[in-house]
Chain A
Amino acid sequence: MKKLISRILLGATILASSACTKIDNYDGPNASFEGNLISSEGGNLLTSQGSSQIRLEQISWSATPSPQEIPSKFDGTFKDSKLFKGTYKVIPKGGAFWPLYDTLTVDINKGTKHDFTVTPYILIKNFTAVLNGKTLTLKYTMEAPIGAGLPTIIETQPYVNNTKLVGAGASIRDFSDIYKKAINKEWADMTDADKSVTIDIPDMLPGRKFFVRVGVRLNDSFKSSNFSDIIEIDVPAN
């Protein structure tokens, strides 16, 4: 019995000593890429959940790599800290900005930073949200940095949510989608009255805090929306 145990131990020792002689010679994903989507009209491009991404293609890995995407955050910044070191083609996409066609080639290493400048389709200006009793009145105007060739303006709508993360896909339907206003016009055909919008949202719940913004949706390849900044509204208790 003792002999058997010692033989098993011997075998285990031999197996253990022969294992783990090689180590992985590839670096882990320890590179990072971060930056801002800067609006040509000042500040960062205001985005929402899933609206803009940075597309990366690792050309140092393959001539036809599978693309990967870094989603932009609500404040127009982006960051991915688990990338493999290498040469990438990068381009922002998803809208709502005039599309860029020239991809940029960057060597991504630890702490690589790059800012992209994009021209938004529509700017939302003079956005105010005023509470009158339980009715919230939103007023804003639309401006286009470049009018000619702008995709058709489909609709405009408020987004209301109870967290700061408010936008397309992150809003309370009864306060948001049902107050959508259809436009379906070319920018050149829109009158000043079309471009200045007032939306009333009745029956806001008393004693609650809401975050409100508005968006304008365009018929580009992504049906993307330009967003306003976010206003915090406290509805007083009765």
Chain B
Amino acid sequence: MKSIHKLIIAISISVGALVTSCQKLDIPPTNIFTPDIIFGSEAGVKSFLATIYRGLPIEDFKYRPDQGFKTGGNDWENFFNSASVTGEEVGPFGGMDIGGGFGYWPYGDIRNVNILIEELPKHADKLGQANVDALLGEAHFLRAYYYFGLAKRYGGVPIVTTVQDPGAPLSELQVHRDKEEATWDFIGAELDLGYQMMNETNELGRANKYAAAALKSRAMLYAGTIAKYGSANFVDGQARAEGFAGIPADKANGYFTKAYDAAKLLEGHYSLYEKNSDKVQNYVDLFLKSESPENIFVKQYSIISGTAHSWDATMSPRYMTANALTRSYPTLDLVQRWGNLPVTNLDGTPKRFNDRAELMQGLEPRLLATVYFPGATLRGLTFDMQRGIYPSFNGTAAAEVAKPANSRSYILSGDTKTLYQGRMIIGFTGPWTGGDELTRTGFYVRKYIDAAKPISTVDLNRSEQPWIDLRYAEILLNRAEAAMELGNAGDALTVINMIRNRAGATPYTSIDIDKIRNERGMELAFENQYYWDLKRWRIADVVLNNARFKGLMPYYVFNENKYIFLSEPELFQRNYNFDKKFYYEPIPGGELGKNPNLYPNNPNY
């Protein structure tokens, strides 16, 4: 009896095992996303796009030019910006510390775009042909954006447009460098596709067809100026001789024409922000109001997703914030782009002011909206910049500044608590050299500062105002510069005066290339453009040749009860030198090790 039981059990087990075991495990894996899942729905494509957008080389608040596009740890150090090595500001960098770049090499991100471009047409049945076309256009824009980030750093780079198979022979995977001209032409062609295929509008934070045209105007202007000025001022070397670093001069006008035509495409679709009749507040608002008709392409931030930036907390002193660390400050040299400030009388003596704020009278609204002057207010508090006290002041400003520090008769202080006959010697907002929180030039940044935030909320990683990566004012400046390079001064003048009118400046009656460049410097100050402008105009080695920058130091003259302002070397006392080889960054050493076809490296590396 027992043995029969055993028999039955044995048989049923073996039968059961025989019947069920031979199922083949040929099913799609359930724990990874297959292309069907990702590209079969709009939500799937959107999540894939989010990864690509997140990696985009947008030089925003958090971009640190010697370390890269920061997220997470230490992404709050927003004062490590390119403005603070180019003389727009002075700041934490000891000198020209960003010339070698940070080894940017985004071929992983480009591979993602290539996957998108390869996969999308296969899923037209589920996504719809119109959707697929618009998304493909967006993908071409994104690919161009990545290549633009490469071309402006390295010149010619390998153009990879397919999804490489990791199992392919090494000779196929080690792609050769393309010429610089070919790289810029590729970027132009990609953006043409983007313009043709994308829709007029898109979600906030994503590109539409006009973003492609706008980026094209920027990229082609870069290429044109590199062709024109790079063939006059260059570093000799193999990479240049073979066309990897440098574009023939006769190609310049072709690129300028493309830049001009691309900029024209936006006409009538975007306009300068002019909603507030108070010109200063209008210019402040344009960086903070999301409904601005000037915004073409923006990057958004949020506290909830942990992406918030720290602009408000790192550009204003702790006096006006909850927990600030400032370190970079606008220079007097930048402010003088708008002309010399009326701080000196005709006989050379410093002009006397009853109140610091008087200095701001009559200045251009755009200047006052870009930089906080002594006497300005933020969150109910006054920028009380004061470098020290003169018991009395005689003679000219120039003679006083030329004296060695120990023979000047001023009284300085190491902190705000020290008083001179009952008066504070230095202001709550500096200038002071003892720590990292107070200005060393007499100015603070105002652009992008959200004055409406209560003091208690102004902290690190607590700012959410979007970064405007492409705005119409820049496109107008691109158009004016391209027009001027092509000899169309009339259009350049018209366009520059549109910008000057909005800024509250006096319109020009005539125009030249220096005025256009200066207008660009004023309009786009602190927007991470000027470093690239200096490079593509090939003047960085002249402008930053042992360069030292100035600040404007306010003093109180005790016996007269007046304020004076002296133009003095900024208090970091930094020195900036741009080496000519920095016009191109070195191809990263690790990549050269993996791919010998990337040789020759750029000249002098």
Contact = CB atoms under 8 A, between A and B. Distances in A.
A61 interface: no
Contacts of A99: 236
A66 interface: yes
Contacts of B234: 221
Contacts, number: 25
A94 to B, nearest CB: 9
Interface stretch (B22-30, B367-375, B596-604): B596-604
B592 A64 contact: yes
Contacts of B541: 223
A66 B580 contact: no
Given A66-B589, A177-B546, A221 B596 contact: no
B235 interface: yes
Contacts of A64: 592, 596, 599
Given A63-B596, A64-B599, A221 B589 contact: no
A64 B594 CA distance: 11
Contacts of A63: 596
A221 B235 contact: yes
Contacts of B580: 221-223
Contact residues of A: prevailing secondary structure: loop
Contacts of B599: 64
Interface string A190-210: 000000000000000000000
A177 B599 CA distance: 38
Contacts of B592: 64, 66
B603 A221 contact: yes
Nearest to B404: A174
Contact size range, A:
10 to 19
Nearest to A55: B604
A219 B235 CA distance: 10
Contacts of B581: 221
A160 to B, nearest CB: 16
Interface in A80-106: 93, 99
B36 to A, nearest CB: 43
Given A64-B592, A64-B596, A64-B599, A221 B546 contact: no
Most A C-beta atoms less than 10 A away, residue of B236, B541, B599: B236
A221 B234 CA distance: 7
Contact of A222 (B545, B546, B604): B604
A93 B604 CA distance: 9
Interface in B411-467: none
Interface residues of B, number: 17
Interface in A199-238: 219, 221-223
Contacts of B236: 99, 221
A93 B580 CA distance: 14
B55 to A, nearest CB: 28
Contacts of A223: 541, 545, 579-580
B534 to A, nearest CB: 16
A141 to B, nearest CB: 25
A63 B599 CA distance: 10
A24 to B, nearest CB: 22
Contacts of A219: 233
Contacts of A177: 546
Nearest to A64: B596
Nearest to B593: A66
A203 B26 CA distance: 91
B573 to A, nearest CB: 10
Contacts of B545: 223
Nearest to A217: B545
A137 B237 CA distance: 40
A221 B233 CA distance: 8
A63 B597 CA distance: 11
B178 to A, nearest CB: 18
A99 B604 CA distance: 13
Nearest to B597: A64
A93 to B, nearest CB: 8
A222 B581 CA distance: 8
Interface string B571-605: 00000000111000000010010001001000110
Contacts of B603: 221
B43 to A, nearest CB: 46
A138 to B, nearest CB: 20
B155 to A, nearest CB: 15
Interface in A91-127: 93, 99
Nearest to A94: B604
A19 B236 CA distance: 53
Contacts of B579: 223
Interface string B220-247: 0000000000000111110000000000
A177 B592 CA distance: 39
Nearest to B604: A221
Interface in B536-566: 541, 545-546
A219 B545 CA distance: 12
Interface string A43-65: 00000000000000000000110
Interface string A135-150: 0000000000000000
A223 B236 CA distance: 12
A194 B234 CA distance: 26
A81 to B, nearest CB: 25
A65 to B, nearest CB: 10
A177 B545 CA distance: 11
Interface in B363-404: none
Interface in A134-185: 177
Contacts of B235: 221-222
Contacts of A221: 234-237, 580-581, 603-604
A148 B592 CA distance: 38
Interface string B475-488: 00000000000000
A222 B579 CA distance: 7
7 contacts: A64-B592, A66-B592, A177-B546, A221-B235, A221-B580, A221-B603, A223-B580
Q: Which 8 A-B pairs have the closest CB atoms?
A: A221-B235, A64-B596, A221-B236, A64-B599, A221-B580, A223-B580, A177-B546, A221-B604
Given A93-B604, A221-B603, 14 more contacts: A63-B596, A64-B592, A64-B599, A66-B589, A219-B233, A221-B236, A221-B237, A221-B580, A221-B581, A221-B604, A222-B235, A223-B541, A223-B579, A223-B580
Interface of B: 233-237, 541, 545-546, 579-581, 589, 592, 596, 599, 603-604
